[in-house]
Amino acid sequence: MRIAEFNLIRYGRFTNRSLRFQAGDRDIHLVVGPNEAGKSTLRAALCDWLFGIPVRTPLDFLHPMPELRVGGVMERRSANADAGERLAFHRVKANRNTLRTPDDGQLADGILLPWLGNLQAQTFQQMYALDHGMLLKGGAGILSASDDLGRMLFESASGLEDLGGALRVLQKQADALWAPRKAQSRAYYQARETFEAAGAELKQAALRTRDWKAQHDALNATGAQLAAARAEELRLRQQRRRLERIRRVRPLLLALDEARAQRQALLAEGEVPLLEMEAREVYSRATHHIALAEAERARLEHTVEEIQEQLKATPVDAALLGLRDDIREFNERRLQFRKHRADLITRGEEVSLEWVRVQELAAGLGFPASSEEAIRQRLPAAAQRARLDKLIRTRPELAVALASAEASLLNLQGQIERAQAEQLQLPGETVDPDLKSALDKAAELGDPAQRAEELRLGIERASERIEHALAALGPWRQPPDALRSMVVPDKAQLQSLLDQERAEAASEKAARDALDAKMREVARLELDLQQFVRAFQPISREQLVEARNARDQSWQAIKQAPQSLADRAKTFEAEVVRADQLADDRLERAQYEADRQAKAEALEHRQRERDNLEYQRERARMANLQRVADWDALTASCGLPALPLAAAQGWFQLRREVLELEAERWMMARSLAELREAAARYSAQLWRGIGRSGAEPPVPDLVFCVREARALLAEADQAQGQRKILTQQIAQGERELPKLQKARQTAQERWAEWSQSWEAAVQSLGYEATVAVDQVEAELLVMQQVEQRLERIRSIRSERIETMQADLDGLATTAESLRARIAPELAGWQPEAIALELAERLDRAQQAESEAKKLRVRLEQSQAAGDEVRRRLEAIRAQLAPLMAAACAHDDAGLRRAIERSDARRAVEERIQALEHDLIEAAESVPMEQLREECERVGADAAAEELAQLEPAAIDTIDRIASLSNAFGAQKGTFEALDGHDRAARAEAKRQEAIAAMAESAEQYLRIQTAVRLLRWSIEKFRETSQGPMLSRASSIFSRLTLDSFRRLLVDSVNTHPRLICVRPDGAQLDVSGLSEGSRDQLYLALRLAALELQVEQGYTMPFMADDLFINFDDERTSAGLRVLGDLSQSMQIIFLTHHDHLVPLARKVLGDALNVVQL
Amino acid sequence: MMKFIHAADLHLDSPLTGLSSYADAPVDRLRTATRDAFNRLVSRAIEEQVDFMVIAGDVYDGDWRDFNTGLYFVRQMGRLRQAGISVYLLHGNHDAESEMTRTLELPDNVHTFSARTAQTFRVEHLKVALHGRSFRSAAITENLLPGYPNPVSGWLNIGVLHTALEGHAEHARYAPCSLAELRARGYQYWALGHVHQRWIERGAVTIAYPGNLQGRHIREPGPRGALLITASAGEIVDVEVLEVDVVRWQTLDVHIGEISDRSGAIRAAGLALEQALGAAPGELPLAIRLRFVGRSAAHMDLVADEVQLRQEMLAQAVAIDPDRLWIEKVRVESSAPDSQIGASLGERKGTLTDLARLMLEASEDPSLLSSLHDDWRLLLETLPPEVLKASADLRALRQDPMVAAPQWLQRAAPLAMGQLAQASARASES
């Protein structure tokens, strides 16, 4: 297959770039392009065309990813050119259907299969493309595989450099799985360890059937032994029980027999009635009660006799007791009236005293004091005295009312008069009406002096600031008027000028910087070039020509003067040698020279750029100068010569400030003048208003005038107020005057009325009409006292004295009556004494009566108690009766004996019963006969002895049971612990897992190991089959590439590992490792090209791309290489990419017209 | 109406094989799988209140020596006894071989068929007669059927038999008999054991293998369990399958025909795992053999490093559900597309193709085979017998390396080529 045409339609930096590869005798094409011209892009494009554009590609920087497209025509050569096949197709970037016809019809992917076979992009790159880097790698690979010829040949033939790597990876994988030496890191041995551990675990956890059976049997055997021991123990226990029973029962039997004999003896004495168990107790209790009751009865009889004696010695006075209430009432009255006789005397004296006092008072009044009645008649009637008394009490009130009315009237009249007088004394009311309005206006003006001062200061400050601002204007200072009339450019215009200046300065600076950088670069390149020349000393054509000229001149000189040959020969020879040397060196250092030229060209290029930059900078500078001149003209026209543009904006600002300050100062000066004029005007007005105009020619200042005017106005206001108040007071007084006059008149009338009544009343009592009120009042008081005392005397007589006398008389009557009835012997005694005596006698009689009563009660009680005791005795005896009957006894003694016998019989019976009960218990259900028999058969001593003998056997048996029971328990526990756990099953599962892991590791290991062996084997096979043809081709190519430095290649197969040997023309042999680096690269190239040739022979051709392969070769070797490629191109297409123009003439010379040169 | 359970081939404590454990594998859930499955069966029997249970042989593995397994079985029988459920137990070839069988003392609800002669157990209140004969020894190769008694007329007759029925060739031919013979015996139900795959024939006579309770390796895939039989008036009314397995084996084919790269294939496998898990009932864990099949460009990559591939598949399984997934094996059984390897060997294109072609000739080189044999022997001779038993490939290689070698070489070639391809890719990347 070859490529006839290739189109970079949209790919990398290319657009519709078409390359044609016409085939001649030879199919070799030199694609020339400087560095970065896109050689590598072309390589990638070819590969992408054939095998598809990868998903990600860096070549979409110009054309977007989906639009990338390459196309071309491939063809197959045939002997008959017309019969050759062609296929034109495009490749686009897409996910599918990337093959298109040139007019964008779809093509099946399979259409390339007949052309490319199973070739992959990667293999294509490895096998059919070769660049300098790959050549170096290949050379290194040859070195590393120098002891493995198969690998060397395979790697060279396939372009695959890492066969060794593949082998290593496989070997490493195999090694991680298994190796003869055990290691923890190897999977197989890890699994085997688990396997062994699980096996051990299984063995430990598994329970063998026979083990289980053994344990089971052992458990059963122990169980049986345990049962036997328990049976033995039971037997021993029973025997012991029998012997112990005999020991227990024997004394009981003896005692029983004895008791039964006793009962027999008792019954033999006769019938023994068995009384109740309590009989003895009942009998003794009854006897005791009877004795107690008899003693009680004797004591009671004696008491009755004593009481009857006492009763007889106690008499009772019945008559006296019959009058008991009368005597008591009589005695109580005596006690009530006990003080009457003394009282009668006291009251008589009181009456006498009152009477003496009445006589004295009556004498004072001038009444006759003969008797009480006489005095009473002289006393005036109570009604008259009451009337006088009332008049006397109303008099002071009337007198006070009269005096008060008169005083009020006088007071009011006085007030009215005083107010009228004050009113007359108030000043008049005359103030100028304009004064007030003038005052208000002056007040609005405030303090004119202070304001004037402030304004003056403001003007001063403004002047100072104007002066400062003017000073700041600097050399362009002018008076404000001139400033105001000046025409200046506006702000926007100024700003645009400034922007322009800034931009120009920046561009000039940039130009300067670029120029500096460029100059540095030029200097660096110059230095670089100098150093390069110094280091590599490339020989320029001029040097060579010069040397040859020198040589030729010498030769000409010698020719012209052959005689001088001897002298000049030496110089000439030296010149010949020098020229040849230079020619050789030049050839050898062709690459350096090429590089030098490239560097010189680059330097020149930079120098041109530098010149260009210098021109740009100069242009910028000129523009700047022009702009400055324009500005100067503008400032001069404004009258501001040489004002810099940068300062202009500030200066115009200052000018505006000066003008503003000036305006401000002028405003303040005007305000000050107006203020002063207004102050003078208001002062004059006020002065006039106060009323002082004319008298004092200089009018005082406004403040003083205002103060005076305010004081005047305040005084006038105060007088006006007082006058109003006084007028109101007078009117009020005159309204109240008639009311007070009426009140005085009423008081006078009431006084006159009282005087008349008084006179009438005193006259009716016999006083003179003119009698003093005080005298009448005093005498009325005395009369009242007289009357009161008389009344007192009467009251004492009737209410006290007479009542007491009546009581005493009644007492005497009662005394007499009682004495006559019960105590005639007391005749002549005072009634009080009689009462006392009778009361005492009554007390004594009452005491006797009470005593007798108590005695009778006690008597009755004692008699009743006696009866009770007798009844009790009978009851006790009745209780004993049944006992008597049961005992067939007729008396106490009989009864007592019967009871004793009964008790004896009962005791015997109980003993027998108890013994029988004990026997039954001790017998443990053994029949009595058997017991008697046992006891008779075994003596007491024999039983004890036998028991003692049994004891050790019993202990022994119990011990055996204990130990057997322990053993049984332990065995049972162990046995029951065999609960069917799953530990063995789990261990087995683990074991199986390990087995699976081991099997898996083993299988994998074997596969990988087999793969390693297979790979090695097949490489070796490859060597065997391709060594001969490949080496024979490579030999000739290698020889040509090294310009016959080596004659041929051969294989040294003496050793186990065959080795490649390079043979020099003189027959010397060199190992691959002994080759120089360059020769090794050439060997690799030879092998590669040989492999390609072999493939061509096998009918499989692909274009071969060589990318600047000979970059390190000199011209001669380059020629040799080109020649080899030229030969190869007779059978396959060679596309040689280079960026060295100088290769073109060389290649044309070597390959002739067959070479197709394509400029990229 | 009455119900009974028919189970067989419990193989208690028989281990699951072929599962190599790895970090995060659900080992604890699976190590006691056969016991857990039987536990579930007994619980189901108690829940369903069945009238009795028939076990048609092979309670234990014949070569399993841990008596604990027997004790465990006794305990489970005890559970059934408490629930009042009788068990009719027949010894199969494994039971006959096991030394536990003779020693174990079973509770009184378990009735074991005699090995001397066919024996009939009558369940009077249900009118059920069970006929059966245990294996006396493992190697019973005669037909036991002729010795079975005649049916009890009017009753439900159940024949219990451990047999390799005709047509089940993969199981040892113990006590063979034919379907026709069984049908002709006059019983209503044949409770068979020995074949591990469930198989039911409904008809006038119902004949059934319940299969084993729990699959133990990849050759016993799918659901496993016992049968719940309902009978009425002497007729089988219903046969219901009780699935009691606690882990299920499955071979999962991952089709990579449409996939062109390795990571795609691994993603597809992960997806297949998730789907398989989704399809499995409840929380049931799966033991899965992954098989990549199909013709795919990814094949070479997969085959190049199967060790790594297995690790990646394990990682996938752990990521999806470490409690429910256990990867048994990963097999690459896919193939490369024609274009990838020199399939059309007639054309000789490129050095790699040459190499592939050479590899195909390798098995014809006796010196290579002999040196390979020496290599292999180093490992093969150290392998314990259990490992050989577990891997048919290793066994074959050990027994006759010369016969097995071509196959091994054939399988190694893609691995070698794949490695070369990877090395080449590595080189071009650097």
A185-244 confidence digits (pLDDT tens): 888 999 999 999 999 999 988 888 888 888 889 999 999 999 999 999 999 888 888 888
Residues A852, A858, A863, A869, Cα dihedral to 10°: -170
Q: Which of B100, B365, B376 sits opposite A209 (nearest CB)?
A: B100
**Mean pLDDT taken over chain B:** 87
User: What is the Cα Rg of chain A in Å?
Assistant: 88
Give the DSSP per-residue string, A128-190: HEEEHHHHHHHHHHHHHTTT-HHHHHHHHHH----HHHHHHHHHHHHHHH--SS--TTSHHHH
Task: Give me the percent of chain A exceeding a pLDDT of 90.
Answer: 6
Q: Name the token pair of A451.
A: 């304001």
B383-392 confidence digits (pLDDT tens): 999 899 888 8
Residue A856 φ/ψ, nearest 5 degrees: -65, -40
Alpha helices in A178-323 (DSSP H): 187-205, 209-268, 279-312, 318-322
User: What is the Cα Rg of chain B in Å?
Assistant: 27
* C-alpha distance from A206 to closest chain B C-alpha (Å): 5
Residues B184 and B177: beta-carbon distance below 8 Å: no
B53-77 confidence digits (pLDDT tens): 999 999 988 888 889 999 999 999 9
Cβ contact B409–A1014 (<8 Å): yes
Angle at the Cα of A797 (from A792 to A802), degrees rounded to 5?
Answer: 155
pLDDT band, very low/low/confident/very high, at B273 (cuts 50, 70, 90): very high
Question: What gap in Å lies between CA A69 and CA B192, rounded to an integer?
Answer: 73
Q: Name the token pair of B12.
A: 């208690």
Angle at the Cα of A924 (from A918 to A926), degrees rounded to 5?
Answer: 105
Residues recorded for chain A? 1160
Residue of B nearest to A211 (CA): B67
Angle at the Cα of B188 (from B184 to B192), degrees rounded to 5?
Answer: 85
User: Which one of A130, A169, A1006 would you mutate to disrupt binding with B, by most B Cβ within 10 Å of its Cβ?
Assistant: A1006
Q: Which of A178, A980, A989 sits opposite B68 (nearest CB)?
A: A980
Q: How far is the CA of A1083 from the CAs of A592, A1037, A1045, B212, in angstroms?
A: 25, 9, 12, 71
* Mean pLDDT along residues A490-499: 82
Q: Which of B69, B387, B424 sits opposite A999 (nearest CB)?
A: B387
* C-alpha distance from B112 to closest chain A C-alpha (Å): 19
Q: Which residues pair with A15 in a beta bridge?
A: A10
Cβ contact A996–B20 (<8 Å): yes
A430-448 confidence digits (pLDDT tens): 667 777 787 788 777 777 7
Count Cβ atoms below 10 Å from residue A292 Cβ, excluding itself: 12
pLDDT band, very low/low/confident/very high, at A622 (cuts 50, 70, 90): confident
B13-58 confidence digits (pLDDT tens): 999 988 887 777 788 878 899 999 999 999 999 999 999 999 999 9
Q: Which residue, A1133, A806, A944, A1001, is CA-closest to B20?
A: A1001
Alpha helices in A366-433 (DSSP H): 372-378, 382-425
Block residue for tokens 């989906």: A66
Residues B202 and B239: beta-carbon distance below 8 Å: yes
Residues of A in contact with B387 (CB under 8 A): 995, 998-999, 1002
pLDDT band, very low/low/confident/very high, at A429 (cuts 50, 70, 90): low
**pTM score, two decimals?**
0.53
Which residues neighbour A592 within 8 Å (Cβ) at sequence distance 6 or greater? A532, A536, A537, A538
A325-373 confidence digits (pLDDT tens): 888 888 888 888 888 888 888 888 888 888 888 888 888 877 776 787 8
Total CB pairs under 8 A between chain A and B: 264
Residue B226 φ/ψ, nearest 5 degrees: -125, -175
Residues recorded for chain B? 430
* C-alpha distance from A513 to closest chain B C-alpha (Å): 43
Strand A28-32 versus strand A1134-1138 pairing type: parallel
Residues B77, B83, B85, B89, Cα dihedral to 10°: 0
A703-748 confidence digits (pLDDT tens): 777 887 888 788 777 877 887 888 888 888 888 888 888 888 888 8
Cβ contact B73–A980 (<8 Å): yes
* C-alpha distance from A1004 to closest chain B C-alpha (Å): 7
Block residue for tokens 């429910």: B324
Cβ contact B378–A113 (<8 Å): no
ipTM: 0.90
Residue A1071 φ/ψ, nearest 5 degrees: -70, 160
Count Cβ atoms below 10 Å from residue A813 Cβ, excluding itself: 9
- Position B346 scores a pLDDT of 38
B80 pLDDT exceeds 90?
yes
Cβ contact A1002–B347 (<8 Å): no
Task: Give me the percent of chain A exceeding a pLDDT of 70.
Answer: 97
**Strand extents, DSSP E, A494-595:** none
Tell which B residues from 35 to 94 touch A, by Cβ distance under 8 Å: 35, 65-75
- Position B168 scores a pLDDT of 66
- Position B126 scores a pLDDT of 92
Compute the half-sphere exposure of residue B194: CA atoms within 13 Å on the CB side of its CA.
30
Q: Which residue, A13, A26, A229, A313, is CA-closest to A1133?
A: A26
* C-alpha distance from B17 to closest chain A C-alpha (Å): 6
Strand B52-56 versus strand A99-100 pairing type: unpaired
Residues of B in contact with A195 (CB under 8 A): 384, 386
Say whether B293 sits in a helix, a strand or coil. Answer: strand
Q: Which of B21, B73, B362 sits opposite A1017 (nearest CB)?
A: B362
Angle at the Cα of A319 (from A313 to A324), degrees rounded to 5?
Answer: 105
User: Which one of A95, A156, A170, A192 would you mutate to disrupt binding with B, by most B Cβ within 10 Å of its Cβ?
Assistant: A170
Block residue for tokens 């107010």: A419
* C-alpha distance from B336 to closest chain A C-alpha (Å): 12
Residues of B in contact with A177 (CB under 8 A): 307
User: Which one of A116, A212, A1010, A1094 would you mutate to disrupt binding with B, by most B Cβ within 10 Å of its Cβ?
Assistant: A1010
Residues of A in contact with B26 (CB under 8 A): none
Residues A1049 and A1082: beta-carbon distance below 8 Å: no
Give Dmax over CA atoms of chain B in angstroms.
87
* C-alpha distance from B316 to closest chain A C-alpha (Å): 19
